[in-house]
Chain A
Amino acid sequence: MSDITLPETGPTAQGASAESSFAAWFAQTRALSARQLWVIFHEKSTFLQVFLMPVLTMVMLKVVLGEAIGRATGQDAAYGTVPLVIVVSAMFGSVVAGVRLNLERTSGLLSRLYVLPINRAADLSSRLVCEIVRMVLTTTVLIVVGWLVGFRMNPDPWAILGIYAVAVGFGIAFASIVLALAVNFSPGAPLVPLLSLVSSVLMFFNTGFAPASEYPGWLEPIVANQPMSPAIEVMRALAAGGPLTENLIKVTLWTVGTLAVCLYPALHGYRKAATAS
């Protein structure tokens, strides 16, 4: 009986270690991120949902509520509306990414990637990289359009960088929740309605939509401390000036806490989803 000699590129111990190396992870994450971004920019419906809808929502909120909110707060409503829509677009964009993950799971793509000699973390990290790129682009578009409706930013580069950091930090945290749920729920579960409902509730009950003082007394602390409100207030403070420290601490705690809670379930669930027959 003749011995079978595997080629050097096969799944040998050396190949396995190369596959799990940082260099492999980096190269494969880059390739898979490019694929994810290609999907976003070539699917018309996704592109519209990710870029056009946030801009439309922002302009309409400003046009419809701007005067009333401006009178109530004594500040141009754009300073609440622009950060609100930046955060909301991060949330709804992540829901779209969750839907795409579920579709790729049911079509067998995750399983296919899992049996190929690809770094185990590459696909999941590519999805997060894609979310970061999407959020940076969306935030840029919203800031530019926001300028047209009265959102004037502090010219300090650190303030501008801070706005992007908060948007991306919040976005990654929410994306990790979505990814963790998408890979742990069964493919037929009502994930989209559930996440959309949560996102919609948060969208109206935060300090970007209306000042916390306008909500009923029992609801005020909930509105002021839910994840979106500190993020909005930090962006408002960075753009227009104002107290920063307390809300920055809250944003950091929410972001780090969410990532800490969701990262393991996301990785574990991803493996389970990829290996499920």
Chain B
Amino acid sequence: MTQLTLPREQAGGDGARIEAVRQWWTLTMRGLGSIMRNGEVIFAFVSPAFLAVAFYVPLRSIMSQYADIDYAKFLMPIIALQSVGFVASSAAMRSCLDATTGITTRFRTMPVWSAAPILARFSANLVLLVISVVCAAIASLLTGWRPGGGLGGTIGLYALVLTVGIGVAVLSDAIGLLADSPETTSQAIGLPLLILGMLSTGFMPAILFPDWIAPFARNQPVSQFAKAMRAFDDGTATWSYVAPAVWWCVALIVGGAVLTYLGTRKVHR
């Protein structure tokens, strides 16, 4: 009976680790390649820039007149969070297409480290997130926003945005794995993003909402993120101000991890 000898890099130890890293790198490059080809980088800029222009141009004078608000400064958090929303949609569609076209199953039949596809998608999403957040910052600067919280406040602001982005990307990737089709995925991501984005204090202060919905608008996650971001931007951030946003971030990451586990179980079956 002949003995099967695995090549050194698959036999365990350092070789296996190197092979796993190589697989992760290859799959990450595949993800980034599709991001470039699909024009997602262009949309990463167009999406927040368009949102900034669409709301800032018609509403700036109304907001300064009736709510006494510097609207460029007020809109900055929702522009950044919109870029996070764009990454969420993109992440969900990417994982869903991998699952529905059979690529995820194909990887399971190959000598590929089981975590490599998930980590590769995460890495590609992280790159897209950074690009999107930079584009959102440029869009906000173009409307007239200027960082007002000093170096520490600005670092805190973007650390929060990136943490939210990571949580949302993990959660969206998992939803994509669990969804049956790209259409289902786009609705599972699109509807909550639309509702939470619009019915938040990102576009309007809570005082301008009808009484029956103001408590929801004030306390939902997008509003809490926006509130914390404004606090960082004003240099008035305290733990009591930022804590709800931090706990929502924790909830996103934990929820994403649980759903990712369920998604990989579904793929295994």
Binding site for B on A (CB under 8 A): 44-45, 48, 56-57, 60-61, 63-69, 71-72, 190, 193, 197, 200-201, 203-205, 209-210, 214-216, 219
Which of B39, B66, B67, B199 meets A64, CB within 8 Å? Answer: B199
The total of Cβ contacts below 8 Å across the A-B interface reads 76
CB-based contact A69/B62 at 8 Å: yes
Assembled-state Cα–Cα distance A184/B61 (Å): 42
> With an 8 A cutoff between CB atoms, is B63 at the interface?
yes
B residues contacting the other copy or chain, number (CB 8 A): 31
B6 CB–A CB distance under 8 Å: no
Q: How far, in angstroms, from A57 to B58 measured CA to CA in the complex? A: 18
Given A64-B204, A72-B66, A219-B57, CB of A197 within 8 Å of CB of B46:
yes
The yes or no answer to B183 lying at the interface (CB within 8 A) is yes
Can you identify 12 A-B contacts, CB atoms within 8 angstroms?
A: A60-B194, A60-B198, A61-B198, A65-B204, A68-B208, A71-B62, A200-B50, A204-B54, A205-B57, A205-B58, A210-B59, A219-B57
Given contacts A69-B62, A214-B59, 20 further A-B contacts (CB under 8 A): A45-B183, A45-B184, A45-B187, A56-B191, A56-B194, A56-B195, A63-B199, A65-B203, A68-B67, A68-B204, A68-B208, A71-B62, A72-B66, A190-B39, A201-B54, A203-B54, A204-B53, A209-B58, A210-B58, A216-B57
Q: How far is the CA of A44 from the CA of B187 in the complex (A)?
A: 10
Q: Are the CB atoms of B62 and A67 closer together than 8 Å?
A: no
From the candidates B55, B61, B191, name the one contacting A204 in the complex (CB within 8 A). B55
Known contacts being A60-B195, A200-B50, A204-B55, is A214 close to B187, with CB within 8 Å?
no
How far does the Cβ of A210 sit from chain B's closest Cβ, in whole Å?
Answer: 4
> B65 on the interface (CB 8 Å rule)?
yes
Question: What is the interface of chain A mostly: helix, strand, loop, or mixed?
Answer: helix
Docked CA distance A215–B203 (Å): 17
CA–CA, A66 to B198, complex, Å? 13
Q: Is B113 an interface residue (CB 8 A)?
A: no
B210 and A67 contact, CB distance less than 8 A: yes
Contacting residues, chain B, for A48 (C-beta < 8 A): 187
Q: Which of A44, A63, A64 has the most CB of B within 10 A?
A: A64
Q: Which residues of A contact B198 (CB under 8 A)?
A: 60-61, 63-64
Q: In the complex, which residue of chain A has the Cβ closest to the Cβ of B181? A: A45
Are A68 and B57 touching (Cβ within 8 A)? Answer: no
**Chain A positions within 8 Å of B213 at CB level:** 63
Q: Which residues of B contact A190 (CB under 8 A)?
A: 39
Residues of B within 8 A of A209 (CB): 58
A197 to B43, CA, bound (A): 10
Closest beta carbon of chain A to B269's beta carbon, Å: 24
Return chain A residues, CB-CB under 8 Å to B145: none
Closest chain B CB from A270 CB (angstroms): 26
Residues of chain B from 14 to 72 with CB closer than 8 A to chain A in the complex: 39, 43, 46, 50, 53-55, 57-59, 61-63, 65-67
Closest A residue to B214 by CB, please name it: A63
Q: Which residues of chain B (65-114) have a CB below 8 Å from chain A?
A: 65-67
In the complex, how many angstroms separate the beta carbon of B193 from the nearest chain A beta carbon? 12
Contact at B209–A63, with CB atoms within 8 Å?
yes
Q: Is the CB of B66 within 8 A of A68?
A: yes
Contact: B204 with A71, CB < 8 Å? Answer: no
Inter-subunit contact A214/B204 (CB<8 Å): no
Residues of B within 8 A of A56 (CB): 191, 194-195
Q: CA of A216 to CA of B67 in the docked complex: distance in angstroms?
A: 20
CB distance from A167 to the nearest CB of B (A): 23
Most buried by B among A60, A197, A201: A60
For residue A65, which residues in chain B have a CB less than 8 angstroms away from its CB? 59, 203-204
A72 near B57 with CB under 8 A, answer no
CB–CB B63/A67 < 8 A: no
**Other-chain contact of B54, A64, A200, A219 (Cβ < 8 Å):** A200
User: What's the nearest-Cβ distance from chain A to residue B73, in Å?
Assistant: 17
| A68-B63, A201-B50 known; A215 vs B57 contact (CB < 8 Å) | yes
Tell me which residues across on chain B come within 8 A of A215, comparing CB atoms: 57-58
Residue contact A67 to B208, C-beta cutoff 8 Å: yes
Q: How far is the CA of A214 from the CA of B204 in the complex (A)?
A: 17
Docked CA distance A190–B55 (Å)? 26
Partner of A72, one of B43, B53, B65: B65
| Per-residue interface assignment for chain B, residues 169 to 212, with 1 indicating a CB less than 8 Å from any chain A CB and 0 otherwise | 00000000000000110110001001100110001100011100
